[in-house]
Amino acid sequence: MARRCGSWLSSRRPRPMLEVRAGMRPMGPSSHRNSGRTGQGIVEYGLMLGLTSVLTVVILVFFGGTVAQVLAVVGGLIDKAG
């Protein structure tokens, strides 16, 4: 029995995206199994931001004079070149 080209496409049922992408979870707020993990991620990012800020302030307090001298030298070199 001869079939027309492409007729098998119309006879197949469309598969949902979950079947097509096996192993991947759907995205969106309803797909979170543990909504507590979302809060944990936000807290971790906040802690990293806070630690980075404190570390930056400490580095500037200890090396602020040196950084200012280096920037003054670089600024002087730029003025001479321009």
Q: pLDDT of 40-77, one tens digit each? A: 889 999 999 999 999 999 999 999 999 999 999 999 99
Distance separating alpha carbons of residues 50 and 42, to the nearest angstrom: 12
Q: Where are the domains of the chain?
A: 38-82
Q: pLDDT of 10-33, one tens digit each? A: 566 666 655 555 566 656 655 556
Contact 16, 22 (CB under 8 A): no
Q: Output the pTM of the full model.
A: 0.44
Contact 45, 53 (CB under 8 A): no
